[in-house]
Structure 1
Amino acid sequence: MRDKFLLKQYINTLESTALCARLSPEGNIRWMSEPLHKLLDIHYLKQTTAFSKFLHADHRKKVTAAIKQASDNGDAWNGTLCLDSNSRSNWCRCIAIPLYETDGYLTEQVLLFQDISREMYLDELLQEARFDQVTGLPTRVDLLNDLKRVGAQCIAVLDIRKFRSYADFHGLEFGDQLLREFSVWASAFLRSKHINIYRLYSDKFALIPDFRMIPNLFEDHLLSFCQVLSSKKLKVANSDVALDIAIGMGVGRNKQLQLAESALSKAKTIYSGYKIEVVYERDFLKENNVNWIPKIQSALVDHRFVNYYQPIKSTKKDKPSYYEALVRLRDNNKDLAPGLFLDKAKTTRYYCEITRSVIEQAVLTSEHYQVAISVNLSIEDILNEETVSFIHYVLAEHKKAQLIFEITETESTEDFTKVQAFAKEVRRLGGQIAIDDFGVGYSNFSRLISLRPDYLKIDGSIVQNVLNDPTSASILNGLISICKELHIPIVAEFVESEDVNGYLCDQQIEYLQGYYIGKPSPEVSRVLN
């Protein structure tokens, strides 16, 4: 008697607190606990309501068949199912326990549920974080875990050059499909080399070996990857696309990803063909242990920021038409490239002083040799009132100087009216305007039309691949047509071979710049000769 009393209390406790239901042999709900009522948002329930009504339609037949098969065999069923309420879906673990009469006939099914909706939601978020939605590749989450698991000392970061041009020119869906095709091919190729690929963001991918591979072997595999890709055409929307990539490789025990990003930055600026740029941890630490602020300060005081000049030649003349001023920091017997110090300077007030130094030297050189000099200006320069006032003063005071201001990063500023106002005033004072690193895309074209620059410099990656990539050639031909209609002369950068030079001349590009035309020099007289 006492046992029956205790059993009744256990049953009452279970039914009042647990998510549970009792079903007839036919699968209709005889009783449902109050917590399950609340979960399913049910206020009234008919005795003839089938339990299957609350199962998600996608799983209904499968779950009911599995429960029936288990009860026919005299077994409990244990599994996961989705219950649909009036307002939401709820994922639950469920155990269905069949109860039998003494004669062996099924009399009832008892269902016990555990709500796991939150766990399922978190698992979905984790899956989304772990795997890229476009390519299906693992992401940075798995990359960092695998780096620790493998103990890899080397990692590479890959960038698809001019990817944005593909997406802007052909559409976003074309860009996504291109990423998918590249990811499928790259994964298969690299897997045979024991290298895993991860998508970081946009057109950036990370590569790591799946064991502690020595750096030299890893670099050899990366070179092989580049060479094979150079002859590969990816089929995207009935188009054959030849991709050009830049790869940076980091080697060290700590912050390998940061090392690889630094190497990639170098690779993207020098267009080194199939060479892999490598940054070693010891060199990176040595380079970044330099306190650049005192160096920059002393260089400004001692006038050690010097201009190098690279010739820009008209395709209709033998001699250079004008020159681009490129800043260097003279440190002892070395002239340091701007990549080492300019980004550090941008965070300080010294950046605008460096810009002024470049302009001052360009003015004097232009007047002395009676040649046009172009000077690079970033959006930070144009938004700096002191720098703009200085430019106005220089143009007003030096009427004989021929200055061209190359504006970079026109897409990065939302307030384009300031760029327009700057260009208008520069022209009024006798200067000229060029747009640097021009690609394609609606925002670029609309600003090109509104600004009407005196020169347009084509993005170097388009020029470099024009002989091997039909898409680059198509983009270039389209830009030539537009610029001819707008009467804007084109400057093609990174002309580094006779073949490219000949092709561009045949296309009637107005100006050429690159190592084939002439290397930068600190003296215009040397370039002139």
Structure 2
Amino acid sequence: MAELISQLNQRANYDNLTRLLSRQRLIYDIEHAASFNLAILDIDRFKEVNNFLGMNAGDDFLRSTATLLRQFFAHQPYAIYRLNGDEFAIFDSRGDEVEEFEMHIQAFVERFGNREQTVKGETITASISAGIASSRHSSPIVAATTALKYAKLKHTKVATFQEDLPILKEYQQNLKTTRVIRKAITQDWITPHFQPIQDVRTGRVCKYEALMRISDAEGTLYLPAEFLAVSKRSGNYKELSASMIRKSVACFSATELALSINLAIEDIEESDILDTLATLQRQYNVMDRLIFEITEQEGFSSPERIKAFIDQVKRLGARVAIDDFGSGYSNFETLIHLDIDFLKIDGSLIKNILTDPHAEVIVETIVDFARRLGIKTIAEFVSDEAIYRKIASLGVDFAQGYYIGKPAPLINHRINSLDRRT
């Protein structure tokens, strides 16, 4: 029995891989210390070690890091822990020695970052980041972890927790935004707005782009920049997007207008996206009027997957546009192999086209390239008549922007029955 108890204590107090103290032991030590300093350390890009050399090599790297920690702090009264994954902790029960503790942590981070380690015959140069907190904080592990994230965000390697860290305001805003998103889903606050797209040749509005908005009970309107990224990080994007697609299609089902709908890579990777689109087709019979927009960055990050998706939606009768084309490295070669119908020229080029000769040359090149492939072009951010005349002179097919019309709910637009396939 005594041996069993000893084994259980060993498992509870020590990490099996590195033989350092465990996370459970750290929690115990914090609860029983009157005053202390705490540092949480995390190996930068450790996932790359696992992906490059394999899990066994990753374990060797962690054991090597544990050895370095023991050696470096051998003459200090610090306890060393492995928390989980590639996270370690240093605990100093002398809470009054803050500056000395910070100096030692900084020194280790610098030493670690300049040291090469050999794992499985491969030489790896790694760095480490650290966040520091103390017993003054009500949740020291959370505080040290927050400081660690701030150090990584600002590339400072070491940060000490303070109540006014900018990242705390970001966390609070993220929580507030997440609550708005959840209410938008449960209380039906998701409101599609539509921006007109004009045929430059005829001067007629022939299609609209659906743009997601959230309108709360007080009438406050939230733009995508305020909630879209948070919805993806908080796991709420799928529900937002599904509601947006359904509502947009339902709004336009009674018209004969073409409708553009934005799809993120999260939509494309969703296993049931094609079933959802097929259901909408059976319900509304609108697929031949839908245009799915994929941003250049997402479209070219995994071209094989995007190509497969494009081929599938085109078999359903829909059309496809590449959005924000020209915003970064425009991969013309990849574009040749994608069966797309429209290229939307990035707004950063269009809004500067009157003052930046390079922007004009790039737009002219895109238009010529698209024309040769039988692809129609759409200029975004057309904000005034001068820009409109310029893009028309360059041969752009369609214009979108405040000069044509601002995004608004469908009821605010004067909708005419136009050509179904314009």
Q: Which one scores higher on RCO, CA 8 angstroms, separation ≥ 6? A: 2
State which of 176, 179, 197 in structure 2 corresponds to 1:290.
Answer: 176
Aligned to 2:406: 519
Q: C-alpha displacement at 1:296, in angstroms? A: 2.2
Q: Which amino acid aligns with 1:424?
A: D
Distance 1:378 1:385 in 2: 14
1:272-287 matches, cutoff 5 A: 287=173
Aligned to 2:382: 495
Cα shift readout 1:178-211 (whole Å, capped 9, x = no counterpart): xxxxxxxxxxxxxxxxxxxxxxx9xxxxxxxxxx
Q: Which amino acid aligns with 1:492?
A: A
Contact 1:324 1:375 in 2 (8 A): yes
Listed as ranges, the gaps of 5+ residues in structure 2 are 1-109, 115-152, 154-162, 417-422
State which of 451, 457, 466 in structure 1 corresponds to 2:353.
Answer: 466
1:6-21 matches, cutoff 5 A: none
State which of 372, 375, 382 in structure 1 corresponds to 2:268.
Answer: 382
Flag the structure with larger Rg: 1
State which of 239, 242, 254 in structure 2 corresponds to 1:353.
Answer: 239
Distance 2:327 2:229 in 1: 26
SS of 2:403's partner is coil
1:331-410 matches, cutoff 5 A: 331-332=216-217, 333-401=219-287, 402-410=289-297
Aligned to 1:310: 195
Q: C-alpha displacement at 1:345, in angstroms? A: 1.2
Cα shift readout 1:19-57 (whole Å, capped 9, x = no counterpart): xxxxxxxxxxxxxxxxxxxxxxxxxxxxxxxxxxxxxxx
State which of 171, 192, 211 in structure 2 corresponds to 1:326.
Answer: 211
Distance 1:515 1:413 in 2: 29
Aligned to 2:397: 510
SS of 1:369's partner is coil
Cα shift readout 1:100-137 (whole Å, capped 9, x = no counterpart): xxxxxxxxxxxxxxxxxxxxxx99x99xxxxxxxxxxx
SS of 2:262's partner is strand
Distance 2:228 2:321 in 1: 21
TM-score between the two structures when normalised by the length of structure 2? 0.56
SS of 1:467's partner is coil
State which of 328, 335, 340 in structure 2 corresponds to 1:448.
Answer: 335
The alignment-based identity, stated in percent, is 34
Q: Which amino acid aligns with 1:505?
A: A
Listed as ranges, the gaps of 5+ residues in structure 1 are 1-121, 127-200, 202-252, 260-280
Distance 1:477 1:371 in 2: 28
Q: C-alpha displacement at 1:298, in angstroms? A: 2.7
Aligned to 2:123: none
Q: C-alpha displacement at 1:468, in angstroms? A: 0.5
Cα separation, partners in 2 of 1:421 and 1:396, compared to 1, 3 Å: farther
Aligned to 2:129: none
SS of 1:300's partner is helix
TM-score between the two structures when normalised by the length of structure 1? 0.45
Cα shift readout 1:421-441 (whole Å, capped 9, x = no counterpart): 111111111111000000177
Aligned to 2:66: none
Q: C-alpha displacement at 1:444, in angstroms? A: 2.0
State which of 351, 358, 367 in structure 2 corresponds to 1:480.
Answer: 367
Contact 1:322 1:371 in 2 (8 A): yes
SS of 1:307's partner is strand
Distance 1:464 1:498 in 2: 12
User: What is the CA RMSD across the aligned residues, in angstroms?
Assistant: 3.2
Distance 1:442 1:461 in 2: 14
Contact 2:210 2:259 in 1 (8 A): yes
Cα separation, partners in 2 of 1:288 and 1:527, compared to 1, 3 Å: farther
Distance 2:222 2:279 in 1: 29
Contact 1:455 1:490 in 2 (8 A): yes
Q: Following TM superposition, where does structure 1 have runs of at least 4 consecutive aligned residues deviating by more than 4 angstroms?
A: 253-256, 411-414, 440-443
SS of 2:337's partner is helix
